[in-house]
């Protein structure tokens, strides 16, 4: 069973770039037909989908964050990444990485999640 684990700094200064890594074990990102996703949970906005990457490298982003966000994957197929630029206090949240499974008839769901990592934006 695939497992995911987020890592990265817990504190980021305002206007700086937030960078997180998701390490995938028990399966390869490159051999999967699924999407690899970032989601955050903040007190102000609840659960918010940030963006995703497919095994072919194509990306989709939440329009509300598109101008500041980038999701990428490493060549080994065991990690994918989130970068968010120009962060503010509103970006303080628990950040999750997750696998978005594809089903039949375009059904999709987030079936495996990491435990989440708290990122605080503060000077």
How many of the chain's residues bind another protein (CB under 8 A)? 24
Length of the chain: 123
CB atoms within 10 A of CB 107: 8
Q: How far apart are CA 17 and CA 22, in angstroms?
A: 17
CB closer to another protein, 13 vs 45: 45
CB closer to another protein, 3 vs 16: 3
**10 near another protein, judged by CB under 8 A:** no
**47 near another protein, judged by CB under 8 A:** yes
Q: How far apart are CA 78 and CA 71, in angstroms?
A: 14
Closest CA to 73 of 108, 110, 34: 34
Site for another protein in 55-114 (CB under 8 A): 60, 62-64, 96, 98, 103, 106-114
Q: Which residues bind another protein (CB under 8 A)?
A: 4, 41, 46-49, 60, 62-64, 96, 98, 103, 106-116
């Amino acid at each position: 069973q695939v497992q995911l684990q987020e890592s990265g700094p817990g504190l980021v200064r305002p206007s700086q770039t937030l960078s997180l890594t998701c390490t995938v074990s028990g399966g390869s990102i490159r051999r999967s037909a699924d999407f690899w996703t970032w989601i955050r949970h903040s007190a102000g906005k609840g659960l918010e989908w940030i963006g995703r990457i497919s095994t072919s490298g194509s990306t989709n982003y939440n329009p509300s964050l598109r101008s500041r966000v980038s999701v990428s994957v490493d060549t080994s197929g065991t990690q994918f990444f989130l970068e968010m630029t120009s962060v503010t206090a509103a970006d303080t949240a628990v950040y999750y990485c997750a696998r978005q499974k594809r089903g039949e008839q375009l059904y999709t769901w987030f079936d495996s999640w990491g435990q989440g990592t708290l990122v605080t934006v503060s000077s």
